[in-house]
Amino acid sequence: MATTDTFDYAVVGAGLAGAATAWRLAQRGHHVAIVERDEPANDAGSSHGSARIFRYVYEDPFYTRMVQDSFAGWRELEAAHGGPLVTPTGCLDHGEVRGPRRLATVLDRAGLSHELLSPDEAAGRWPQFTFTTEVLWHPGAGVIDAQESVHAMVAAAVGHSATLLTGWPVASVAKSGAGYTLTSSDGRSIAARGVVVAAGGWLPGLLGGLDLPDGFLASLPRFEVRQETAFHFPYREEPAADAGWPTFIHKAHWIQVYGLAGGRDAGHRGQKVAEYNGGRVLPDASAQDGLIDPAHRARMVGYVRRHLPGLVPEPYAETTCLFTNTPNDDFVIDRADGITVLSPCSGHGAKFAPLLGELAAGLASGAGTVPDRFRTSLKVAAR
Ligand SMILES: Cc1cc2nc3c(=O)[nH]c(=O)nc-3n(C[C@H](O)[C@H](O)[C@H](O)COP(=O)(O)OP(=O)(O)OC[C@H]3O[C@@H](n4cnc5c(N)ncnc54)[C@H](O)[C@@H]3O)c2cc1C
Per-residue pLDDT at 2: 47
Measured from the CB, is residue 145 less than 6 Å from ligand 1?
no
Residue 267: pLDDT band by 50, 70, 90 thresholds?
confident
Task: Report the nearest atom of ligand 1 relative to the CA of 169.
Answer: 42
| Higher local confidence (pLDDT), 352 or 262 | 352
Measured from the CB, is residue 319 less than 6 Å from ligand 1?
no
Distance of CA 15 to the CA centre of its chain: 9
Q: Please give the average per-residue pLDDT across 36-53, as a whole number.
A: 96
* CB atoms closer than 10 angstroms to residue 39: 17
Looking at every residue in the chain, the average pLDDT score rounds to 95
pLDDT for 200-243, tens place per residue?
Answer: 999 999 999 999 999 999 999 999 999 999 999 999 987 667 78
C-alpha of residue 109 to centroid of ligand 1, in Å: 31
In sequence order, the 6+-apart residues with CB closer than 8 A to the CB of 383 are none
Task: Report the nearest atom of ligand 1 relative to the CA of 229.
Answer: 1
Residue 354 has pLDDT above 70, yes or no: yes
Looking at the chain, which residues constitute the CATH 3.50.50.60 domain(s)? Answer: 6-47+148-222+328-382
What is the H or E stretch that residue 322 is in?
Answer: strand 317-325
Pick the CATH number of 6-47+148-222+328-382 from 3.90.1150.10, 3.40.50.970, 3.50.50.60, 2.170.120.12: 3.50.50.60
Per-residue pLDDT at 244: 86
Residue 196: beta bridge partners?
A: 11, 340
Measured from the CB, is residue 153 less than 6 Å from ligand 1?
no
C-alpha dihedral, 350 to 210 to 32 to 184, nearest 10°: -100
Residue 36's alpha-carbon distances to 156, 189, 354, in angstroms, are 16, 13, 19
Residue 1 has pLDDT above 60, yes or no: no
pLDDT for 305-322, tens place per residue?
Answer: 999 999 999 999 999 999
- Is 8 in a helix, a strand, or coil? strand
Residue having the nearest C-alpha atom to atom 35 of ligand 1: 13
Report which DSSP code applies to 43. T
Q: Are 227 and 320 in contact (CB under 8 A)?
A: yes
Q: Please give the average per-residue pLDDT across 234-259, as a whole number.
A: 90
Whole-angstrom Cα distance, residue 187 to residue 77?
A: 35
Task: Report the nearest atom of ligand 1 relative to the CA of 40.
Answer: 49
Measured from the CB, is residue 11 less than 6 Å from ligand 1?
no
Looking at the chain, which residues constitute the CATH 3.30.9.10 domain(s)? Answer: 87-142+224-325
Residue 46's alpha-carbon distances to 41, 151, 178, 326, 346, in angstroms, are 8, 14, 33, 15, 10
Residue having the nearest C-alpha atom to atom 4 of ligand 1: 347
C-alpha of residue 33 to centroid of ligand 1, in Å: 19
Per-residue pLDDT at 266: 84
Whole-angstrom Cα distance, residue 187 to residue 189?
A: 6
Report the percentage of the chain scoring pLDDT > 90.
Answer: 92
Report long-range pairs for 300-305 (Cβ below 8 Å, ≥24 apart). 300/231, 300/257, 300/273, 300/274, 300/275, 303/255, 303/257, 303/273, 303/275, 304/233, 304/273
Q: Helix, strand, coil % (nearest 5) of the chain?
A: 35, 30, 40
Q: Please give the average per-residue pLDDT across 179-202, as a whole number.
A: 97
Measured from the CB, is residue 195 less than 6 Å from ligand 1?
no
C-alpha of residue 379 to centroid of ligand 1, in Å: 25
Whole-angstrom Cα distance, residue 164 to residue 26?
A: 12
CATH superfamily of the 87-142+224-325 domain: D-Amino Acid Oxidase, subunit A, domain 2 (3.30.9.10)
Cis, peptide link before residue 239, omega less than 30° from 0: yes
Per-residue pLDDT at 192: 98
C-alpha of residue 304 to centroid of ligand 1, in Å: 27
Task: Report the nearest atom of ligand 1 relative to the CA of 48.
Answer: 29
Q: Please give the average per-residue pLDDT across 61-74, as a whole number.
A: 98
C-alpha of residue 53 to centroid of ligand 1, in Å: 14
Residue 373's alpha-carbon distances to 141, 221, 327, in angstroms, are 25, 12, 13
Per-residue pLDDT at 237: 85
Whole-angstrom Cα distance, residue 183 to residue 190?
A: 7
Q: Are 310 and 261 in contact (CB under 8 A)?
A: no
C-alpha of residue 265 to centroid of ligand 1, in Å: 17
Residue 379 has pLDDT above 90, yes or no: no
Residue 381: pLDDT band by 50, 70, 90 thresholds?
low
Measured from the CB, is residue 333 less than 6 Å from ligand 1?
no
